[in-house]
Amino acid sequence: MISRSVDTCPYCGLSHPGSFLKSNPLIKGTTTSGILRLLLMINVGMFILAVLLDFQPSMMSISPFGFLSPSSRSLLVLGATGSYPLFELHHWWSLVAASFLHGSFLHILFNMVALYQIGPMVGQEFGTGRMILIYLFSGIGGFLLSAIMGVTLTIGASAAVCGLIGAMLYYGKHRGGTYGRAVFSQIGGWALGLALFGFIVPGINNWGHGGGMAAGFLLAMILGYKERTRETVYHKLFAVCCMIGCALILCWSSFNGLLYLLATR
């Protein structure tokens, strides 16, 4: 609505608000709800692909932990990460792809519910661009730490979701006040619940959870939140670039899956 000839927005003070770099469908279209829906669709799509690549009757197990559980072979082909894929196969792209793979129907259900519970809060307090950066890089940080600590094979959006939890813990602690304490208390409950769940249920990547949470906390500290630092067009541009990079990696992952499917026919 602002002409490109205007040097400063009369409403918000943004410099050169009519610039194409600041006003284009790609930048304006990245709303929090839209990004969360996109993440949900990508995760579901990759889960379906993982199941179909190496479908076996045992995947229809009545056990909630085994129902629609993709094989280790299909997950490895699509980008499961860990010490083996990273340090033996040199699949560094798996640090990104693994955040979009899940080991069972219950696994993806829990992670997507958590994402939809916490994601809107992060988007509201940090902005959509910074939420994307925190999500993607927290997943990378959590998986990298777990690989260094010897976790052989790991997948799931939980490291990235834990990054959102870490970001909100920083926000609540740093902001303070009644609202900040309430946020810290609420998100702290999530963090405590995840910690207890990780120690009770076998096979949980606690290093990934802890690394993702620490990465989210540090990223929130560096990037700042809305009340402290306004989200800039550079945050959004960097987020868009990261999304494009992530899309290319997932295309490569899917291509690997197609090659695997053709080779096993």
Q: Looking at 69, 94, 138, 158, which residue is catalytic?
A: 158
- 209 catalytic residue (yes or no): yes
Q: Which structure tokens are listed for 240?
A: 């868009």
- 158 catalytic residue (yes or no): yes
Residue that has been written with the tokens 């992952």 in this structure: 253
Q: Which structure tokens are listed for 51?
A: 């199941």
Please choose, from the candidates 59, 66, 44, 220, the residue with its C-alpha nearest in 3D space to the C-alpha of residue 115: 44
- The span from the CA of 134 to the CA of 235, in Å, is 11
Kindly provide the b/e burial profile for residues 105-130, where b requires at least 16 CB atoms within 10 angstroms of the residue's own CB: bbbbebbbebbeebbebbbebbbbbb
Q: Looking at 99, 209, 235, 253, which residue is catalytic?
A: 209
Residue that has been written with the tokens 């702290």 in this structure: 188
Which residues have a catalytic role annotated? 158, 209
